[in-house]
Amino acid sequence: MSTHQMGFRPRSLMMVLILFEVFFNISAISKNASFDQNYQVTWGRDRILFFKHGREVQLSLDQSSGSGFASNAYYGSGFFQMKIKIPDRDSAGVVTAFYLNSNVGVHDELDFEFLGNRPGKDIVLQTNVFANGLGGREQRTLLWFDPTSDFHYYKFLWNQHQIVFYIDDIPIRVYKNEKVTGVIGYPHRAMQVIVSLWDGSNWATDGGKTKTNWSNAPFQAHFQDFHIDGCPSNPNIPNKDCYSTKYWWNKKNYWQLNRHQKKSYDNVRKKYMNYDYCTDKNRYHIPPPECLEE
């Protein structure tokens, strides 16, 4: 968002910098790094293709194997994004995942998971949060666009105050640190960025009732923009500097959604959320504390 679009006419460089800090648009962060700068193949190497000089990656899944890649480093906070185009046709049972995972010791994890799509049916994006080894915080959103036809951004903002899940520039989920109590915890362990395409037919689509149709294989997902804004941290020796405000995502204006983001957030949840663990009384007779309204 430019200062002219916001109706301002700054008179000095200092004013421009102040406005940029306050009204910073997250979409401007992208630097579209090549794959090798931040990532490495972790499995299914023979099912991975590179295009555009390493600036686009295709993962494939067939009945024998899927494929995936992960960041070279672990991070203790940051902003993580990926441009994704998921498999088309009937991809029931096929899971396209973009997530952060601690991998070492007690489990922390943040998930974007596409749960496979059947022709004519809504495409479901699931998010989840694990902290201190506990998950069960699924939320599902019906998408208002076709994620098989073009790339869209999926983003995590993670600091010591909140975790925000974005689709493009729209926040679809917020997990606040100050709401978490006791053993529930807040993700604070160093995490690796992971991307994978795999067979989840035993659970992903219609709770596992609709299986993968392998006659449609190979299933292919495409990924772009491999830049990472993160604070590197050893998973065995946490980097305490990762909470420093020298990193833009830790600064005060990222401790909560701004007014415009909150409006978009409320709108998308009202129109497109079709499952929320916070309202699932069969699983949680008493809503978890992080589910309380702000």
- Please answer whether residues 197 and 68 qualify as being in contact, where contact means their C-beta atoms are separated by less than 8 angstroms: yes
Amino acid in position 105:
G
First and final CA of the chain: distance in angstroms? 27
- φ, ψ of residue 268 to 5 degrees: the values are -70, -35
Could you give the CA distance from residue 173 to residue 157 in angstroms, rounded to a whole number?
11
From its phi and psi, is residue 26 left (phi > 0), alpha (psi between -120 and 50) or beta?
alpha
113 is an active site residue: yes
Q: Which residue is catalytic, options 56, 109, 138, 290?
A: 109
Q: How far is CA 87 from CA 18, 30, 291, in A?
A: 42, 23, 33
Could you give the CA distance from residue 265 to residue 166 in angstroms, rounded to a whole number?
9
Residues 6+ apart with CB under 8 A from 80: 100, 155, 156, 158, 193, 228, 229, 230
Amino acid in position 66:
G
Could you give the CA distance from residue 153 to residue 112 in angstroms, rounded to a whole number?
11
Q: 82: which strand partners?
A: 154
Q: Which residue is catalytic, options 21, 113, 138, 293?
A: 113
Could you give the CA distance from residue 79 to residue 42 in angstroms, rounded to a whole number?
22
- Find the length of the chain: 294
290 is an active site residue: no
Kindly list the catalytic residues.
109, 113
